[in-house]
Amino acid sequence: MTRISDDELEDGSQKLDYLASFRLLLRYAGGARKTFIGAILLATFAITAELVPVWSVYQIVTAAFTGALSWSFVLLHTALAVGAILIGFAAMGLALGLSHIAAFDVIYRLRLGIARHMARLPLGYFADLPSGDAKKMVIDEPEKMELIFAHGLPESISALATWLAVSVWLFVVDWRMAIAAILTTPISFVLLSIAVGGASKRAAAFQSAGARMNASVVEYLAGMPVVKIFNRTGDSFAETSAAVRAYVDVVTAWAREYLPLGGAFYTLVLANIVIILPVGLVLLHLGEIDLPTLLLFVILGANYSQPLIKLFNQYHTIAHISMGSTLVGRLLDEAPQADTARQLTLPDHDVTFDAVSFGYGERDVLRDVSFTAKAGEVTALVGPSGSGKTTIASLIPRFWDVRTGRVTIGGIDVRDISLDQLMDTVAFVFQDTFLFSDTIAANIRFGNPGATDEEVEAAAKAARAHDFIMALPQGYDTPLGERGGSLSGGERQRIAIARTILKNAPVIVLDEATAFADPDNEAAIQEAIGALTAGRTLIVVAHRLHTIADADSILVIDGGRISESGRHEALTARGGLYAWLWEDYVNAQAIALRPSHPGGSKGAEQ
């Protein structure tokens, strides 16, 4: 899984992988490599050009002391200084332009790579991935990397290159003064590495506290109806407020640990004047250096470690972004689902499970499941909650792959059928119907983008959805709210069935919703399902047992195994688990429909 586990989050000692973003950069740089190198060279040139005025002053002062000063000399060096400033300014602008072009190129490729990779992961993976996480991976995290790729990288490398070049120059001018100028730098770096080490240990806790705070606020807002109905506003807000407090605590602890040493670093890096000046004055007094050299070190030496501050300011950006880049890296390392380009002709559309075992992670859920759902028949999966019915259904379109055994369609292992062909062959109606924020017609047409208006309407009629659609003010052109929120649950499911009818897939898997038990809707949904059946392999995960009393085959799932199978009459007569489930169901229905419950089954749902 790409999410950082709770244990990792709790354990603040998890170290940051500072190179995570750079690894992604190398992987997706492609043709942008040259542009990046160009940007770095230009930025180095620009920063070096900033030193020309200092060099010019040094030359003028030296000339003044040696008696070689002339107006033309001063003018030449002034012109050089001004020219260098202008050229440096232009070069830096160009460097940033290039680094942005390269960064957006890499981020575009990275986003595409993540999206392509996600499309090749088992579909079940997304059931476990909160939709916010998916967006974070594709949109937000790559976006943040722009700060590293477009700014951090060229600025850091050019700052380091410039610092090294100036160091060499200072050593060439006078090695003793150069040592005096550089002396505080190693000490300040030792302090910084201690500060960074301490802060990086808290990085995971920092990220997790931030993520929890966000999640808590979003949940608080999203769960407002439930919070209000149960009158838990105070408790619920207390939890959100605790999450915000926890974040503040982590940030404060981080700041307390980082700031003293971090502050000492910034002070020391720029404190070399306290060494340069006394050492310089002694050497001047001894006649070892001349005044221009002392001035050069005072002007240049005192500030020359400034680029290093720029470099280490990037540390915060990199630390902030590395955790996200690590998650993106882990997502990209998830094994994709094996696929084949072969287009096969399936001899028939019988679906067979052959000694299938499967589990989520370490946990076994299905054990040695074998059955055949015949084309043209209705096969029902029934059993207690959590017995594995939905899991069996989800192995058919390869939402997950089996652990052992095989699932076949027309005798061919689903893993040998291309994913494209498999998706064309199998339609899956989910318990939780997903509708897009688009018109009703567009939602139905999603099953077959080429369908005409007449075909869309015919599918809606077959799904018993046409009448309620026509009763809406804009009919088929009625826009739906987010996730179809403006329709009732039963209406949403009939739209989903219409979409499936239009898809016209030979194998249909229907994970029956439990929630829509009001009699009108139920009868309509039953008729809609009837329309799906003709000539197809229909596999229904059934909760309301009377809906499958006529099924050609009923498989009773218990603890991940098939405990019984047969038709309704035979199974009820057998007196086993199915008979018990049926009796239980009939009793529950009788209670729900008793006149003392005016709301009927709806009342029972509350």
Interface residues with ligand ATP (CB under 6 A) are 127-128, 360, 365, 383, 385-391
Considering beta carbons, is residue 118 or 319 the nearer one to ligand ATP? 118
Considering beta carbons, is residue 128 or 235 the nearer one to ligand ATP? 128
Considering beta carbons, is residue 491 or 512 the nearer one to ligand ATP? 512
Q: How far is the CB of 487 from ligand ATP (least distance, A)?
A: 23
Pick the closest to residue 322 from 500, 61, 144 (CA basis).
Answer: 144
Considering beta carbons, is residue 142 or 383 the nearer one to ligand ATP? 383
Pick the closest to residue 396 from 382, 377, 410 (CA basis).
Answer: 410
What are the residue ranges of helices labelled H in 129-272? 131-135, 141-146, 153-173, 175-182, 184-201, 203-222, 224-229, 233-269
Q: How far is the CB of 89 from ligand ATP (least distance, A)?
A: 57
In the Cβ-directed half-sphere of 287, how many Cα atoms lie within 13 Å?
A: 0
Pick the closest to residue 405 from 354, 337, 360, 364 (CA basis).
Answer: 354
Report angle CA 363, 365, 369 to the nearest 5 degrees.
140
Considering beta carbons, is residue 184 or 391 the nearer one to ligand ATP? 391
Q: How far is the CB of 378 from ligand ATP (least distance, A)?
A: 18
What are the residue ranges of helices labelled H in 446-512? 453-462, 466-470, 489-503
Q: How far is the CB of 386 from ligand ATP (least distance, A)?
A: 4
Report angle CA 224, 227, 231 to the nearest 5 degrees.
135
Q: How far is the CB of 589 from ligand ATP (least distance, A)?
A: 17
Q: How far is the CB of 582 from ligand ATP (least distance, A)?
A: 16
The SS3 assignment for 452 reads coil
Considering beta carbons, is residue 156 or 387 the nearer one to ligand ATP? 387
Considering beta carbons, is residue 163 or 400 the nearer one to ligand ATP? 400
Give helix then strand counts, H and E, for the chain. Answer: 27, 10
Query: What Å distances lie between residue 269 and 176, 190, 192, 276, 471, CA to CA?
Result: 18, 11, 10, 13, 75
Q: How far is the CB of 571 from ligand ATP (least distance, A)?
A: 17
Query: What Å distances lie between residue 279 and 184, 272, 444, CA to CA?
Result: 14, 11, 83
Q: How far is the CB of 385 from ligand ATP (least distance, A)?
A: 3
- Rounded Cα–Cα distance for residues 575 and 348 (Å): 35
Q: How far is the CB of 393 from ligand ATP (least distance, A)?
A: 8
Considering beta carbons, is residue 524 or 542 the nearer one to ligand ATP? 542
CB atoms within 10 A of CB 123: 16
Considering beta carbons, is residue 429 or 441 the nearer one to ligand ATP? 429
Q: How far is the CB of 459 from ligand ATP (least distance, A)?
A: 27
Report angle CA 183, 185, 191 to the nearest 5 degrees.
120
Contacts for 55 with CB less than 8 Å, ≥ 6 apart: none
Which contiguous run of DSSP H or E holds residue 273?
Answer: helix 273-285
Pick the closest to residue 120 from 318, 334, 303, 348 (CA basis).
Answer: 334
Considering beta carbons, is residue 73 or 125 the nearer one to ligand ATP? 125
Q: How far is the CB of 383 from ligand ATP (least distance, A)?
A: 6
Considering beta carbons, is residue 108 or 360 the nearer one to ligand ATP? 360
Q: What are the DSSP E strand ranges found in 58-100?
A: none
- Rounded Cα–Cα distance for residues 376 and 350 (Å): 9
Q: Is 498 exposed, middle or buried (0-12, 13-18, 19+ CB in 10 A)?
A: buried
Q: Which amino acid, 207?
A: Q
Considering beta carbons, is residue 439 or 547 the nearer one to ligand ATP? 547
Q: How far is the CB of 590 from ligand ATP (least distance, A)?
A: 21
